[in-house]
Amino acid sequence: MRLLLIAESSSLEALIRAQVAHHWPEGEVRLWSPLNQGRLPAEFLAQGYDAVLIAERWSGAEGLDWLRELSARPGFAKTIFLADRPHATLVRTAEAAGAQAVLDFSGSEPAQWRALLRQVADAQRLALGDWRVSAEAREAQRFGDAYIPGYRRARVLARGPVSQLYIAESTKIGALVALKVTQAGREASGVDPAFERFLQEYDIADRLQHPNIVRLFELGVTDDHAYLAMEYFPLGDLRRRMQLGLSPAESLAIASQLAQVLSAIHDAGVVHRDLKPSNVMMRTDSQIALIDFGLAKQLALDLDLTDRGLIFGTPHYMSPEQGHAEPVDGRSDLYSLGILLFEMLAGEKPFTAESPMAVLYRHRHQALPSLPDPVRHLQPLVHRLLAKRPEDRFQTAAAAAQAIEQAREHWLERVMYA
């Protein structure tokens, strides 16, 4: 038995968890807190659950409104409306709004709970079974040329020459995921380098298991394609967050998290090499997760997945040495972090030009612009991160994290006593 509970009542949550644990020891109850998590994503149909339980009310909202909205989604899971001593009018209203059943959570006996849950779960499994053999399901599980059972395509996020990125619903995970799909091809000389980078991305992120690194759920191969199911971030990336506006304290807090996760990566012998706003995802308004290790370099390996003399990365965020295809180490990532911090504080990139090569030239030869007056006192910190020579930067990400965190604390003190 797998249930999704939409509620804010701790006593109701405890009651349902106790019932499920007692009668279905392998069962699962997943809580969705409307006050903390907001609306359920529009693409979500709860196909990985036996039933969705919706509480009657909570602070600032009515469960009936949620019931109407969710039941109106074609293919949404069967719902049970949880009311406290429901009267006949409420029962009729809830059923008209789409509830499969209405349960009196304060007055029902355990046997009634179990019977109702089994009834609704059976109806959900029957409906899902019918859907799985339909032409609609076959099409919904098609990701480009790849057919991937267990994932329902919601929409395309991005298409590239090597891979495509989708939002999909996973019945196994019971949530929306970002599904990256690529050709699992081979060249005459062996494995396609693009596919090898795809496998490396999974290996690095899965091995590090850091709270500020994207969560990975599954790596698989089907129809000559490989796919990687990853954590989905409804709030988008750091670029979107910057467009909404960041205070200096928020900018420093994000930079501090990035320095800390870079420290963990570097300690594991990995250089990210593609640190940019689109690779920094927002888990919440203030918590980040680093993604995309496809260009990462494992310093302990004799074989580099990129050919010597080739440039990989994004010009606006490249260190001078990376932009000129010279050897890189963790200090190159710190330079990219400095670009991000400058952009968060100033609202613009420090080096721009009409062509990528001109941008790379300015990284190496042009003096760093000044920060705006309100944050001018942070110039030494940014200047240290963006030193042209690696030996003039912070020598470790841990040292950079400490300096950034101190700057954030000093800023908060300035605001407090201003």
Active site residues: 274
- Dig out the tokens for 46 from the structure: 């709860």
Q: How far is CA 132 from the centre of its chain?
A: 27
**Three-class SS state of 284:** coil
> Where do the DSSP E strands lie in 65-183?
79-83, 101-104, 142-143, 146-147, 151-159, 163-170, 175-183
Cβ neighbour number for residue 78 with a 10 Å cutoff: 24
53 to each of 63, 68, 121, how far by Cα in Å? 10, 13, 11
With contact defined as beta carbons under 8 Å apart, do 283 and 289 qualify? yes
Q: How far is CA 164 from CA 199, 236, 371, in A?
A: 15, 17, 38
The radius of gyration of the chain's CA atoms, rounded to the nearest angstrom, is 25
CB neighbour burial string for 316-332, b if at least 16 within 10 angstroms, e if fewer: bbbbbbbbeeeebebbb
CA distance 263 to 396: 7
Mapping DSSP to helix (H, G, I), strand (E, B) and coil, where does residue 264 land? Answer: helix
d(CA 382, CA 386): 6
Closest to 338 measured CA to CA, from 271, 267, 388, 411: 388
Amino acid type, 246: L
Task: Give the Cα separation of 242 and 258 in Å (integer).
Answer: 15
